[in-house]
Amino acid sequence: MSKKNITLMVFAAILAWASGMAGNSFLNKETTLLAAEYSNQQQTSNQSQAPGAGSTQYSLEQAMSDNAQLSTIAFSGLAFITGSSGADTFMPPGKVADFFGFQYMRDVDTAGYGHNTTFLSRVANNVLYILNDEQKAKLVALAKEQAPLYVNFAYNRFSIMNAFRRNLSGDIPTGSTGLNIQAVSTYTGGLYKTDADLSYNRAVVVGGIITSFTDEQKAYLAKMEFNNYLSWPDVAEDESIKKGLTDNEFVAVMTYASELFSWYKGNLDADVYFCPERHGTYFGGFYMKDYPAMNNPDYFISTEVTGDSGQGFLNALNTEQKALVIGIIEEQRAALTEIAQVRTTVSTELRKAISGGTIDKALVYSLIERYGELDGQMSALYASRFSAVKKTLTDAQMATLIELRNLDVVPLGAYRFSTPIAMPVISNTDFMFGVGDLPTNAGQTTAPESFGSTNMVSLTIAPTSPSTFGQTVTFTAKLNPTSATGTVVFWDSANGLNLSAAQIISGVATFTTSELSVGNHTFSATYSDNKSDAGSFSNSITYTVYALLVVSVGEDNGKGDTAGTFSYALLQSQALSSNTTISFTTKNVTFTSSLSLTIPAGVRIDGGSTCTQPPAVIINGNGANGDGLVLNGNNFLRNVWIKGFSNRQITTSTLTALWKKNTLQCVKLSR
């Protein structure tokens, strides 16, 4: 689509606005349009669309059309009314700083893989494969610089979503009748200053890399078609890039690499394009649509689910309720038209970097801030109308909408874009309702260090590792928030064992067992019985269970003339290949003859982690004729003094393989 076409479209929209289109006439027309659009469509499952299927023509005009906008808004209304605060927070990071053609490339992919979870990584891996070390270093440096900006952007979204949820539930501060659109708009304008930072600096760096392409790099990319996933070689991920990067930084590098390709191979029309769901991203629509694809690399997100569910939402409403939603289309028209103008000017400026030109930074920043204000205006309008609809829903209507949602998974915490985190503490949002002063740094608050913690379930184990076979071990899972209800499942991940499901009481679930097997374990806990819900996993704990050791010593009559027997028994056969600790209740153990034993592989004699003088455990041969301890490999001795044997104080079995090493720490030997 050319710039000329955009101008004509804008003029036509303004002309329609000026002609004074009657509200009722518009609503009737819009209902007819929406019904016609879906009259020939059949219901399909989320996974029914095969690669290559579908013939939808994507363009900015289509994305801004009344039908596309109404479908998306209705879908958002369904997600918001039937959703939760945690679901609202989910948003793909690609919806930020999106002036580089990637969304258009995704939507027009002729192979049908545009909405497959492998799409981004495949194109990014190809780009990273051909970049030289210097070019890749620039992307890494940019990621390290911008990762905190992404985090701040995600954090500042929470105030908007909190205000919208408050409005939905009727938690409106005294002195206000509802959301203040101007306050929301000013806040989102501040939020988008971060979007401007991300967009401008990305364009400068990526543009510089493109201008430095070699002929070989250009030739490689020439073979990859902009709109055909199947023309992209299946290149392995560059593991070396991950080293030294946080998860946020690595995600940023992959984003830059994928958008480098779409920007280089695309054009201005692709940059200006946005999908209908680009705006008003605070209502949980992305979660409802994308959840089935999480952790499922072969999943294809249906391009029809938004339209089908949106139509179902409208069908469930009565005439008055439906009018509240459909009326949004006309009321947002001027803002949406201005957004198209803003995106055209910003994209034109940023594209100068590809040819080595200079971007007008001040213009880009001011326009993107304005972009944020317009998004805030539309979003506040959506939130107000959704709340008005919610107030008048009957129980039967609500039941219909919940069934239409077809997703009963509720995030325990929240999301930083698409990464599960604990729900952060959110500052007072009364100002979004026109009560109190707008913060001076509205939309630009630096995220606290606590933001982004992924431990919504905190696991502890008592006693701490290690324990012995048969010992009682208690697992405790504490949930954030403490209001969570349901069950927690405890997992032995290393052994693939589902230990138990425990009921949550006052935010805590416990499980006690004395049947842990000997060996090494990795324990974790997850909220609910759905292990695929990555948003509710706890921290992992590595844990060791030793075999039980029974030591017996013959009774001493106190005169020193009674021969005693020092013996031990391992109660499980696995103990011969698992760690076992010999402990002594008396500091000095004295023998009158050789021990005449071989310490089995893996057995430990531990005098404690602090080296002392003399060592904490003293094994005294007292002149006994023979060797002292005979080690058999993989033995561990710490803070032990072995003395008094006539031959060797410590030796190894002749059967010990060379690779079976013994570990001695703070071990003292003397005759």
What is the SS3 assignment for 174? coil
Give pLDDT, residue 603: 64
Give pLDDT, residue 10: 30
Q: What is the pLDDT of residues 349-404, one digit of tens each?
A: 999 999 999 999 999 999 999 999 999 999 999 999 999 999 999 999 999 999 99
Is residue 145 predicted with pLDDT exceeding 90? yes
How many angstroms separate the CA atoms of 62 and 263, rounded?
A: 21
- Whether the CA torsion 568, 571, 577, 580 is positive or negative: it is negative
Looking at the chain, the whole-number percentage of residues with pLDDT higher than 70 is 76
Cα torsion 142, 104, 386, 411 to 10°: value is -50
What is the SS3 assignment for 634? coil
Q: Give the residue among 395, 346, 351, 397 at the shortest CA–CA distance from 370.
A: 346
How sure is the predictor about 602, in pLDDT bands with cuts at 50, 70 and 90?
A: low
Q: Give the residue among 466, 585, 586 at the shortest CA–CA distance from 518.
A: 466
How many angstroms separate the CA atoms of 24 and 241, rounded?
A: 58
How many angstroms separate the CA atoms of 502 and 508, rounded?
A: 9
Q: Which two tokens stand for residue 70?
A: 């109404």
Q: What is the pLDDT of residues 38-87, one digit of tens each?
A: 333 323 333 333 333 343 578 999 999 999 999 999 999 999 999 999 99
Residue 298 DSSP class: T
How many angstroms separate the CA atoms of 265 and 102, rounded?
A: 10
- Identify the H or E element spanning 648: none
Please check whether residue 152 is in contact with residue 196, taking contact to mean a CB–CB distance below 8 angstroms: no
- Identify the H or E element spanning 93: none
In the chain, the domains with their CATH numbers are 3-36+59-406 (no CATH), 457-546 (2.60.40.1930), 549-670 (no CATH)
Kindly list the distances between the CA atom of residue 148 and the CA atoms of 142, 154, 193, 447, 535, in Å, as whole numbers in the listed order: 11, 10, 14, 9, 21
Kindly list the distances between the CA atom of residue 109 and the CA atoms of 231, 272, 492, 645, in Å, as whole numbers in the listed order: 11, 17, 42, 80
Q: Phi and psi (nearest 5°) for 601?
A: -55, 135
> What value, to the nearest 5°, has the Cα angle with vertex 508 and ends 507 and 514?
165
Q: What is the pLDDT of residues 166-180, one digit of tens each?
A: 999 999 999 999 999
How many angstroms separate the CA atoms of 632 and 603, rounded?
A: 9
- Whether the CA torsion 32, 38, 43, 46 is positive or negative: it is negative
More confident residue, 608 or 248: 248
Q: Which two tokens stand for residue 657?
A: 């393989």
Kindly list the distances between the CA atom of residue 206 and the CA atoms of 100, 210, 668, in Å, as whole numbers in the listed order: 10, 6, 62
Strand order in the sheet with 508-513: 457-462, 473-479, 508-513
Give pLDDT, residue 311: 96
Q: What is the pLDDT of residues 114-136, one digit of tens each?
A: 888 899 999 999 999 999 999 99
